[in-house]
């Protein structure tokens, strides 16, 4: 209490269950293996207490925010990430997700042209062929009972990235995606244990436990892999010339894949070689796990809601017929499919909370957060207890997206809020629609949500009970 000093401004209600000295530290440790249930219950309690609460984590002051207007203010005013994200700098440096201040502003401006709608439309060939590849890889499971589709979905999303966004024409190392994915999973697990088991935050302890060495080995593996890709790409561009553009067959749009654009920026001197590697690692890491995770949630929800699944199927047949690829004019016609994805993002947001540092005093509607505190913004996690989402906010009802009049910004909040909102939102939405379009025309999915268990590292993930079964639609 002494270390915390007297609060500079009146505090919002305390988060229930906080103890005088440790704040909510004991709860965080106790709920280590159920981190998502814990955070969600805190978000719901916060919503019931008016949308802003406070808690101490040791001597640190945290504001928990669920109120939509305050969430937007905090997202826009507190652009610096929480210090826990600095752990990942050893891997992603000052890539877009981790950087702040002028570096973030400059990189965001330079990278935004790579994520516009015409560029994403030009990836449709890759999205369609990858979605068909995914659907046929599921064939051996038809009629064979429950299986876990998660790994295949993840590998497929990572491969889609490599081929489409990065523009790597051939992956000669067939284990590239597996190796990359395993190393990412291992390093994230290390960091989460370091943040939650606070004694590991000491560099000395981190080194003594041997975990620092393990971390460095994983980072080296990831850097070596990205550097290899970059060198190969550079050599190819040197031979063909930087001006080379690819023409998409589906959209007819000429485009320059993400890596080519980055390398072009480096020839202009806008990015150094290190910055290019950092941004490449960042975009891959931020993109493949999120989309495959979200597709898993959408399949589980549809598997547990056969009526809604039939409505998606009917829409897909109506717009695309039984076999046709998704073309750019189809995307806006898949209204119900879109609603299903949005509803899955609302109920199971892959990134449910934004952790930020308060650098200068920030005025919310009823409270002021002092510089030096932190905020945890839940743009959507309390929606299951929020009546403004319409009837039965805790239930899967895609219809709410067809005629909902939600408060401003809400429909996008699963992709973050304000200036730092997800740069890959359009990529994610279109690639998920294409994946579902091929998968659901091929198979009828069944799932049981009652055993679903989730956990939360940097993403909210299904850890058990997410098996599905599939039957062919073609018989």
Q: Which residues define the annotated binding site?
A: 422
Residue 138 CA to residue 447 CA, distance in Å, equals: 15
23: phi then psi, degrees, rounded to nearest 5:
60, -125
Q: Which is nearer to ligand HEM, 103 or 236 (CB)?
A: 103
Cβ at position 471, least distance to ligand HEM in Å: 27
Among 92, 225, 422, 454, binds ligand HEM (CB under 6 A): 422
Q: Which of 424, 438, 447, 466 binds ligand HEM (CB under 6 A)?
A: 424
Q: Is 292 in the site for ligand HEM (CB under 6 A)?
A: no
425 or 444: CB nearest ligand HEM: 425
Q: How far apart are CA 218 and CA 302, in angstroms?
A: 37
Query: Least CB distance from residue 433 to ligand HEM, whole Å?
Result: 11
How would DSSP label each residue in 185-224? HHHHHHHHHHHHSGGGGSHHHHHHTTHHHHHHHHHHHHHH
Coil, helix or strand at residue 444? strand
Note whether 362 binds ligand HEM by CB under 6 A: no
DSSP string, 81-110: EPGGGGGGHHHHTT-TTT--HHHHHHHHHH
Does 351 contact ligand HEM by CB under 6 A?
Answer: yes
Among 282, 309, 337, 383, binds ligand HEM (CB under 6 A): 282
Q: Does 415 bind ligand HEM (CB under 6 A)?
A: yes
Quick one: 183 or 292, whose CB is closer to ligand HEM? 292
How do beta strands 246-247 and 453-456 pair? unpaired
Is residue 149 near ligand HEM by the rule CB under 6 A?
A: no
Buried b (16+ CB within 10 A) or exposed e, 396-421: bbbebbeeeebeebbebbbbbbbebb
Of the pair 81, 141, the CB lying nearest ligand HEM is at 81
Which among 58-66, 86-94, 298-306, 415-423 is the span making contact with ligand HEM, rule CB under 6 A?
415-423
For ligand HEM, the binding residue among 91, 271, 401, 427 (CB under 6 A) is 427
To ligand HEM, the closest distance from the beta carbon of 157 in angstroms equals 8
Quote the tokens at residue 363: 């005025």
Residues of the binding site for heme: 422
**Among 28, 299, 354, 430, which residue interacts with ligand HEM (rule: CB under 6 A)?**
354
369 beta partners: 362
Query: Which one among 283, 298, 339, 470 touches ligand HEM, defined by CB under 6 A?
Result: 283
Q: Nearer to ligand HEM by C-beta: 106 or 234?
A: 106
Binding to ligand HEM (CB under 6 A) within 41-70 occurs at: none
Whole-number Å distance between alpha carbons of 393 and 347: 9
What is the largest distance, in Å, between two alpha-carbon atoms of the chain? Answer: 71
Q: Which of 194, 400, 420, 441 binds ligand HEM (CB under 6 A)?
A: 420
The Cα 428–Cα 439 span in angstroms is 16
Strands, E assignment, 179-277: 246-247, 254-255
Contact 133, 114 (CB under 8 A): no
- Site residues for ligand HEM, 86-145, by CB under 6 A, read 96-97, 108
Tell the smallest beta-carbon distance from residue 43 to ligand HEM (Å).
Answer: 14
Q: What string of H, E and C letters represents the secondary structure of 24-79?
A: CHHHHHHCHHHHHHHHHHHHHHHHHCCCEEEEEECCEEEEEECCHHHHHHHHHHCC
Contact string (CB under 6 A) for ligand HEM, positions 321-350, x = contact:
-----------------------------x
Interacting residue with ligand HEM among 192, 316, 423, 440 (CB under 6 A):
423
Give the Cα separation of 462 and 456 in Å (integer): 9
d(CA 36, CA 199): 22
Contact residues toward ligand HEM (CB under 6 A) are 96-97, 108, 282-283, 286-287, 290-291, 294, 350-351, 354, 414-416, 420, 422-424, 427-428
């Amino acid at each position: 209490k002494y270390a915390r000093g007297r609060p500079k401004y009146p505090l919002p209600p305390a988060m229930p269950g906080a103890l005088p000295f440790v704040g909510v530290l004991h709860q965080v440790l106790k709920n280590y293996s159920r981190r998502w249930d814990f955070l969600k219950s805190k978000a719901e309690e916060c919503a019931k207490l008016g949308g802003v609460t406070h808690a101490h984590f040791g001597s640190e002051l945290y504001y928990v925010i669920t109120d939509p207007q305050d969430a937007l203010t905090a997202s826009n005013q507190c652009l610096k990430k929480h210090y826990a994200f600095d752990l990942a700098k050893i891997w992603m440096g000052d890539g877009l997700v981790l950087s702040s201040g002028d570096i973030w502003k400059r990189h965001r401006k330079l990278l935004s042209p790579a994520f516009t709608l015409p560029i994403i439309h030009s990836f449709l060939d890759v999205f369609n062929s990858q979605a068909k590849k995914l659907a046929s890889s599921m064939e051996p499971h038809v009629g064979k009972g429950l299986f876990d589709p998660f790994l295949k979905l993840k590998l497929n999303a990572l491969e889609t990235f490599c081929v489409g966004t990065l523009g790597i024409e051939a992956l000669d190392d067939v284990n590239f995606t597996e190796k990359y994915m395993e190393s990412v999973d291992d390093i994230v697990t290390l960091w989460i244990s370091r943040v939650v088991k606070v004694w590991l935050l000491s560099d000395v302890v981190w080194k003594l436990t041997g975990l620092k060495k393990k971390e460095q080995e994983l980072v080296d593996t990831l850097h070596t892999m990205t550097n290899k890709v970059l060198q190969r790409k550079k050599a190819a561009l040197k031979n063909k010339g930087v001006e080379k553009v690819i023409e998409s067959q589906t959209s007819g749009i000429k485009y320059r894949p993400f890596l080519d654009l980055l390398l072009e920026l480096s020839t202009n001197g806008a990015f150094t070689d290190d910055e290019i590697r950092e941004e490449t690692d960042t975009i891959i890491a931020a993109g493949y796990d999120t989309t495959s995770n979200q597709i898993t949630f959408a399949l589980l929800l549809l598997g547990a809601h056969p009526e809604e699944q039939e409505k998606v199927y009917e829409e897909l047949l109506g717009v695309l017929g039984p076999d046709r690829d998704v073309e750019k004019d189809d995307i806006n016609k898949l209204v119900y499919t879109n609603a299903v994805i949005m509803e899955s993002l609302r109920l199971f947001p892959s990134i449910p909370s934004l952790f930020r540092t308060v650098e200068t005093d920030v005025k919310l509607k009823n409270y002021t957060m002092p510089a030096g505190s932190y905020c945890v913004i839940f743009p959507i996690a309390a929606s299951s207890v929020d009546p403004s989402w319409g009837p039965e906010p805790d239930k899967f009802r895609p219809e709410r997206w067809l005629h909902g009049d939600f408060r401003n910004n809400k429909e996008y909040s699963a992709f973050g809020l304000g200036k730092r909102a997800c740069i890959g939102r359009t990529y994610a939405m279109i690639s998920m629609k294409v994946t579902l379009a091929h998968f659901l025309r091929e198979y009828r999915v069944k799932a049981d949500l009652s055993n679903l268990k989730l956990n939360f590292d940097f993403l909210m993930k299904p850890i058990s009970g997410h098996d599905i079964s599939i039957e062919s639609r073609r018989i």
